[in-house]
Amino acid sequence: VHNVERPFVVVGDDKESAVRRQFSMAHELGHIVLHNSSIEVDELSREEYKTMEEEANNFAAAFLLPKESFLADVMQYPNKLEFYVELKKKWKVSISAMIIRAFKLNAITHNQYQYLMKQLSKKGWRVKEPLDDLIVTPKPVLLKRAIDVLITNDVMNETEIVNELANYGMALNTDDIEMLLSLDKGRLRKKDSNNIVINLKRE
């Protein structure tokens, strides 16, 4: 963008839950932070690819479940599956990912880890977990607020914002920009203050 290389992460809407979608985004962020963008995935061996994916997963887990604060929570009942449902409400991370994180942080033994994973499978939670239908996907708000501030305070108008984005190599139509920034539909369509509205009264 604007002659500067910038990484973009595009996440599809085919994920079955908000927490899995969030983990996917953190996983891709891990690739950006840890791995060279010039790497050709097709040229990697199976072991190299597996290592890269594991590193990205570990990054995502550490990013979403910071060691000290997560341990303070999980150590209360680390080997009780139902407790992870309660933790999911707070951390917005899948139960399976939290169990793996707990194991890697030595909060549970290998036997406890295997037991929890078997219970997860037995309940059918590997496919769909509790709260998957209730936790909603968060929407971006920072850029939306920034746009509102610019327009409300007459720093830039709608047309100027669209043109400025185009100057930085992001020439998109207003509908696409509004969708990407979670703006209300029509937010970037400049209002014509010179229009005169005449109400016609029917006889």
Give which of 177, 200, 124, 189 is closest to 151, Cα–Cα.
Answer: 189
* 3-class secondary structure, 131: coil
Write out residues in the chain with pLDDT < 50, as ranges: 196-197
CB 73 within 8 A of CB 87: yes
Max alpha carbon distance in the chain (Å)? 84
